Structure 1
Amino acid sequence: MSEPRTTVPDPMKESPLMAIDQSLIQTKPVLSAIINTDNTGVLTIDGQEENFTAADPGQLRTQLMTRLFEVAGEHGRPVRVSTMDENGLTGLLISPDRQVEPEAEPEPGNTAPAPTGQPEPAPVPVIEAVPAPVQTAPPDAGKKEATAVVADAAQAPVESAPATRRALRDAESFLSTQAAVQPATTGFRGWLASVGIRVAPSAAEVSERADIAAVSQHWAGTRTIMVANRKGGANKTPTVKNIAATFARHGGGGVLAYDGNPEVGTLGWRTEQGGHNSTVLDVLENADQLLSTEAVSGHMARYVHHQPADKFDVLRSDDSLVGTHVMTGDDVEVIHRVAAKYYRLIVMDSGNVDRGSDWSAMIGQANQLVVPTTTMEDRAEAALLLLKALHERDEHAAKLAENAVVIVSEWQPGETAVAERIADGFRPYVREVVTVPFDPALKSGRIVHDALTKASRRAWLRATAAVARGL
């Protein structure tokens, strides 16, 4: 059955709402509409292209629909159009009286057989033979009496067996566990839904909703994600920032990005600073107070730097020009114990030095390993060597390596093929590999998640969902 259908708003008086008769649709005209992300579109009518430009997506779609209504009016009957946008393909039926409805999709398994030209044979009724109970006549009975005994037995009623009782604990609930499907909200389908035409979401939107659901879940206890690559410039800091932002924006906060670099890390440079200069050293100095039973969540605000737009906090590394403190494994254990008390999710930037006790402590605390790299070969090689080293380290580290998520970011524009080649090289050895397109907003300066391109934000959501599936 086709979806419920309505009219597109029109200041002119419209005809009464009637279902579009699909039998009136013919093979001509052949209509297709392409909607681009730069608010341009192309309508093709029997091979002839018409170009459209608008100030925003809604205006562009309105222009296209107005022209399609004109085409239907010129032919005096409904027409079919295939529309393509960033969310996929949608088939629509357009009538001259400005009615629109989604094209009905055939129900699976309900395809009629092709005609053969011969009448189908009538079905042959099947009669099941029910054996009658047989009783043996007495030896001295005559033939007539034996026949009567058999006839009486055949006419005797047979009692049905009582239904098998089952335990109440096995009874199925009457409540439905299936959630209603929300109509489309993005792309051309979303625009149709906004004007009252209920259209199912595209495959792309269904996939995005699944990723959001994965990222939005909460886990019992704190989960720790370690972002590691022994080579500098491997995109560790942007990876930490975007994973933390994606989790926090969809999961309701409670996310800490911790710069565990033993030297001066860059996470503090590329995120917003709060109204203080606190770093990880201040947390170490006040750890006893922060871990006491009297401490409350507000106390932690003195030491972390909140990101208002992205809804997570940053714990900066020591950035003192004359600092002499060297982070140890014991320091990391204390920091993690404090962080776990106040946050549900910790994303750690591990820095570039992987031979100290602090790095080993971060590995020990990690529930999920993320290995970022770029399309530069030395960064990818460093990522591979890290995974090999972890696999030989101990059982916990080996499991982290096997369950790792590798994120390959394009270092320059137009490197999609290179990114896929590197990703294919990692796929046989880790749980998931995700590629991220080039985005100039990640090259330098403070990273603002909303400033990323739509394709970049979608890729980081996909990458974060991959991480979430390992927690």
Structure 2
Amino acid sequence: MAIDKSRIREFPPISITISGQDGGELLIGATRQAVTGASELEVRRELLGLVVAHARTGGSPVRVTTRDEEGIGVLLVSPEGEIEEEHSEALAEALEPVPAGAEPPRPTATAHRDERPAARPGAQDEAADSFERIVKDLEEPAAETAEPAAPVLAKPAEEPPSRKPLRDSQSFLAVQDHIEPARKGWRGRLNAFGLSLAPGAAELAERADEHLVSRIYSGPRTIAVVNQKGGASKTPTTVCLAAVFSRAGGSVLAWDNNETTGSLPWRVERGDHDSSALHVLERASRLLSDTARSADINAFVHRQTADRYDALFSDQDIDGEHEITADEVDVLHAVASKYFNLILMDSGNNHRAANWRRMIAHTDQLVVSTTTVEDRVEGARLTLKGLAGRDERTAQLAADAVVIVSQEQPGHEKLAQAHAEKFSPYVREVHVIPFDPALKDGVIHFGALRPGTRRAWLAAAAAVAKGL
């Protein structure tokens, strides 16, 4: 049953502020009560329990303003423990609580509009109806002071309008975009109790990024991760971007395009074979034939079981003498393009090498990775500058590049931001990745990263997807 708004006590004003993962505050008029708990969910339960007790004491529902990192909202709480969302952060400026000691708001001549039946608890129409009523109350003059309407004069008869051609008609179907209720944050936690609250701004932004990385392209797309300086986080960047795209449903290959021995095999899972790019070259004719099967590539790539992408290794023979040529890059790219929708090429440090330059010829989106170490930042700048001066196509790749700055050590937040601002005027987007010990050494599993790190990689991948 919906909460009866006509019974709501408007005074004293009530607000809840969530100040962190384990703390919050309830303000009833001028009375403050701090609450702590083992988790944010526990704090919210305790605060809402106090509000329900206050409503039960007064015998009528109350209105509560909520503030947290996602914004401002308004809840209605009944003495029986029912909770409904009345407004979202879109009305934040209009929902400031009345200061302690102020007079409660007086009813207006248009208050009768609130007497119509309320929507079901948690329904999305509730916020829209409330907003419409507020706007009408602000814009319409009171009924008793309205001027009498002027008499309507009959219009002279007009010729019937001419018919329009049906071929120019547009669809009569209404375009509706029903938004899934919140899954995260305090709204998602309340929805677990049966409510249907809309997602906040942070969750909507995350969903938009997820939508971008989930796109399937009409043909293969190639992303090159570059920096002519070693130790610039090219391999972790390749791995994490591959994980984001593949977890979103793409067919993804992470390819170690090093002319000799690259580091990608050291940071990912190894399959039950030792195949590398050299073995693909030996069987390229078979893999590119019309009779080849989609599963044939599995004998040459290494499956990442949790992150669901495949890795193509560079030659790991320490005594080997073969260096990948430009023509061989063409062959390998043809094979990769047949079996994968998205190709991420991890590169070596020699920007003059034939395989490096041919990689750029196949690139649709350039990603320049760096850490917060100064010489890696300078290497990123020189890589971009070299491409900008080569020819018109590579200059466009450089201008449309996405720069990813990974924090080398804890506490490098300000330094990373300062470096990001240096690149910002020259490229399409710059993204900062926080320090995460799970990226430092060993095999990288995306699920082992901290939530904030995973969110940062999703935003960076969405930026890359915009260029594809």
TM-score greater than 0.5 by the shorter chain: yes
Shift of 1:355: 0.4
Question: 1:63-462 alignment to 2 at 5 Å?
Answer: 63-85=46-68, 87-104=70-87, 105=127, 107=131, 110=135, 112-113=137-138, 120=145, 122-123=147-148, 125=150, 158=157, 160-166=159-165, 168-250=166-248, 252-462=249-459
The number of residue pairs the alignment matches comes to 424
Deviation at 1:61, TM superposition (A): 3.8
Distance 1:351 1:233, change over 3 A: same
* CA positional deviation for 1:58: 4.7
Structure 1: any 5+ residue segments left out of the alignment? 1-16, 132-157
Residues 1:52 and 1:339: Cα distance change in structure 2 (over 3 Å): same
User: What is the one-letter code of the residue matched to 1:389?
Assistant: G
What amino acid sits opposite 2:169 in the alignment? A
Distance in 1 (alpha carbons) for counterparts of 2:183 and 2:357: 45
Cα deviation, residue 98, structure 1: 0.7
One-letter amino acid matched to 1:97: E
By how many angstroms is 1:281 displaced?
1.0
The one-letter code sitting in structure 2 at the alignment partner of 1:234 is: A
Give the counterpart letter for 1:233 in structure 2. Answer: G
Kindly report which structure 2 residues correspond to 1:11-30, keeping only aligned pairs within 5 A, or say none.
17-21=1-5, 24-30=8-14
CA contact 2:23–2:40 (8 Å) conserved in 1: no
What amino acid is aligned across from residue 209 of structure 2 in structure 1?
D
Aligned partners of 1:180, 1:121: CA distance in 2, in Å? 38
Asked if 2 retains the 8 angstrom alpha-carbon contact of 1:35 and 1:83, the reply is no
Q: CA deviation at 1:100?
A: 0.7
RMSD: 2.5
Q: Is the contact made by 1:244 and 1:257 (CA closer than 8 Å) also made in structure 2? A: yes
SS at match of 1:281: helix
- 1:42 is matched with 24
Q: Secondary structure at the match of 2:188?
A: helix
Post-superposition offset of 1:199: 0.8
TM-score normalized by structure 2?
A: 0.84
Partner SS state of residue 265, structure 2: coil
Write the distance in 1 (CA, Å) between the matches of 2:144 and 2:4: 32
Which is greater in Rg?
A: 1
Q: What is residue 115 of structure 2 aligned with on the other side?
A: none
Measured after TM superposition, the shift of residue 468 of structure 1 is: 0.5
Query: Which secondary structure does the structure 1 equivalent of 2:12 belong to?
Result: coil
SS in 2 for 1:317: coil
Residue 35 of structure 2 corresponds to residue 51 of structure 1? yes
- Of stretches 74-83 and 430-439 in structure 1, the one that deviates more from structure 2 is 74-83
User: Partners in 2 of 1:27 and 1:266 — Cα distance?
Assistant: 65
Instruction: Specify the SS of the correspondent of 2:135.
Output: coil
- Residues 392, 27 of structure 1: alpha-carbon distance in 2 compared, 3 angstrom cutoff: farther
Residue 151 (structure 1) aligns with = none
CA distance in 2, matches of 1:67, 1:126: 56
Pick closer, same or farther for the CA change 1:304–1:84 going to 2, 3 Å. Answer: farther
In structure 2, how many angstroms separate the alpha carbons of the residues matched to 1:47 and 1:399? 61
Q: Go from structure 1 to structure 2 and tell me whether the alpha carbon gap of 1:91 and 1:243 turns closer, same or farther (over 3 Å shift).
A: same
* Structure 1 residues 90 and 220: alpha-carbon distance in aligned structure 2, compared to 1, 3 A threshold: same
Structure 1's 23 and 431: CA in aligned 2 closer, same or farther, altered over 3 A? farther
Query: Kindly tell me: are residues 416 and 169 of structure 1, through their superposed partners in 2, closer, same or farther at Cα, counting changes over 3 Å?
Result: farther
Q: Hey, what does 2:106 align to over in structure 1?
A: none
Change (3 A) 1:128 1:18: closer
Paired position in structure 2 for 1:33: 17
Give 1:65's aligned amino acid.
L
**Per-residue CA distance 1:388-436 (angstroms, 9 max, x = gap):** 1111111211111111111112222222222222222222211111122
Structure 1 residue 387, shift from structure 2 partner: 1.1
| Contact kept in structure 2, 1:290 and 1:299, CA below 8 Å | yes
The structural deviation recorded for 1:329 is: 0.7
The 3-state SS of whatever aligns with 1:258 is: strand
1:110 aligned counterpart, secondary structure: helix
Amino acid at match of 1:32: I
Change (3 A) 1:257 1:78: same
- Measure the CA separation in 2 of the matches of 1:339 and 1:221: 12
Q: Distance in 2 between matches of 1:127 and 1:115?
A: 21
| In 1, Cα distance between equivalents of 2:279 and 2:196 | 55
1:117 CA displacement: 11
Report what 1:8 is aligned to: none
Distance 2:379 2:318 in 1: 29
Note the C-alpha offset of 1:360.
0.8
Identity %: 45
> Match of 1:265, SS?
coil
Aligned to 2:112: none
Offset from partner CA, 1:149-177 (integer Å, 9 cap, x none): xxxxxxxxx462343322x3322123333
Q: Displacement of 1:270 after TM fit?
A: 0.7
